[in-house]
Amino acid sequence: MTLGIEVTGLRVDYGDFNALHDLSFELSGGKIHGLLGRNGSGKSTLLSVIAAFRKASGGQVRVGGQDPFENPEIVRQICFIRESGDTEGHSVKSALRFAADFRPEWDSDYASALLDRFEIPLKKSVGELSRGKKSALGVTLGLASRAPLTIFDESYLGMDAPSRYAFYEEVLNDYLEHPRTVILSTHLIEEVGSLFEEVVIIDRGSLILQEESDNLRERGATVTGPAEVVDRFTESLDVLNEQRLGGTKAVTVYGTLTSAQREQAAADRLELGPVGIQDLFVHLTGTTSKAEQGGGKR
């Protein structure tokens, strides 16, 4: 079972501060979605509303066609793992026991395998765990929940690099075996970006972009070759960054290249390559205005 998400005109206010305003998009079920945004962009607020942790100030959120807020039927199908883990004050055993009681799709055998893989001591209290082990416990609870909608909100930041890559591997493998809707909110775009089937970018409470990952990568290109030839080819393009080594230069540009431009690059013996999602994210959430960026849902 998978759950789709519909967000329509969503607004969330904290007193006089408007964290989210007129946010609208849809996420189809059965995909791994990446939610990206700078600090303070409203990512955690958005996920809290979707997971029924917070009530919207205006607009609507529908999960599986229903309002999730104070809806036990839907809430039991959503697993929201935040960076804090929400397990302080519990023992590792009691955190697992609570998950087993609350999550209809809970897989105890998979949870045990994850505890072994992440080397989480079963007999300790959560408060005795290091930050990395607390994060590992959180992702274990999320993965083993097998919830139709599973959300990880920066929940793996405390883990070291080998543990994070083990987590990414588990996400992909378990998703393939047990399809569900997954949302990953992250700052580690280069590490986890290959998992995303679709990317949503928000900035200052508004939607900047929603795009299939493969289509997003086609919005830019890296152009590599002799420096003078590269400079001539890119002089009229939107340059994101450039690198030079001796007489060779690599320039990253934003915008889909036309057939004529690609033919010219081939004629000039320039190499064209894809652009990473992180480079595009930095460009789209930079200091330029949304009008200059061509902002909005695309």
Question: What confidence tens digit (pLDDT) does each residue in 210-225 have?
Answer: 999 988 888 889 999 9
Decide if pLDDT at 293 tops 80. no
Decide if pLDDT at 294 tops 80. no
CA distances for 290 relative to 15, 153, 185, 202, angstroms:
26, 25, 22, 11
Res. 11 pLDDT band, cuts 50 70 90 = very high
Lowest-pLDDT range of 17-26, 132-141, 288-297:
288-297
| CA nearest to 10, candidates 47, 40, 36, 35 | 47
Q: Which residues contact 219 (CB under 8 A, 6 or more apart)?
A: 211, 254, 255, 256, 275, 280
How far apart (Å, rounded) are the C-alpha atoms in residues 139 and 126? 14
Res. 286 pLDDT band, cuts 50 70 90 = confident
pLDDT at 275: 87
* Record: fold of 5-215: Rossmann fold (3.40.50)
Decide if pLDDT at 37 tops 80. yes
Q: Using N-to-C axis directions, what is the helix angle for 92-102 and 108-117, rounded to 10°? A: 150
Decide if pLDDT at 291 tops 80. no
Question: CATH number for the 220-274 domain, one of 3.40.720, 1.10.3470, 3.30.70, 2.60.120?
Answer: 3.30.70
| First and final C-alpha spacing in the chain | 28
Residue 290: phi, psi to the nearest 5? -65, -30
Q: What is the mean pLDDT of residues 245-262?
A: 93
pLDDT at 84: 64
Greater model confidence, 187 or 121: 121
Lowest-pLDDT range of 18-27, 161-170, 238-247, 287-296:
287-296
pLDDT at 290: 38
How far apart (Å, rounded) are the C-alpha atoms in residues 78 and 109? 20
How far apart (Å, rounded) are the C-alpha atoms in residues 58 and 13? 9
How far apart (Å, rounded) are the C-alpha atoms in residues 31 and 181? 5
Decide if pLDDT at 238 tops 50. yes
pLDDT at 284: 84
With the CA atoms of 218, 188, 148 and 115 taken in that order, what torsion angle do they form, in degrees rounded to the nearest 10? 140
Lowest-pLDDT range of 107-111, 269-273, 290-294:
290-294
Decide if pLDDT at 121 tops 60. yes
Decide if pLDDT at 186 tops 60. yes
Q: Are 37 and 202 in contact (CB under 8 A)?
A: yes
pLDDT at 109: 97
β-strand partners of 184: 34, 152
Decide if pLDDT at 203 tops 50. yes
pLDDT per position as a tens digit, 48-103: 999 999 999 999 999 999 999 999 999 999 999 987 666 666 789 999 999 999 99
Q: What is the mean pLDDT of residues 226-238?
A: 95
pLDDT per position as a tens digit, 145-183: 999 999 999 988 889 999 999 999 999 999 999 999 999
For the chain, the structural domain boundaries read 5-215, 220-274
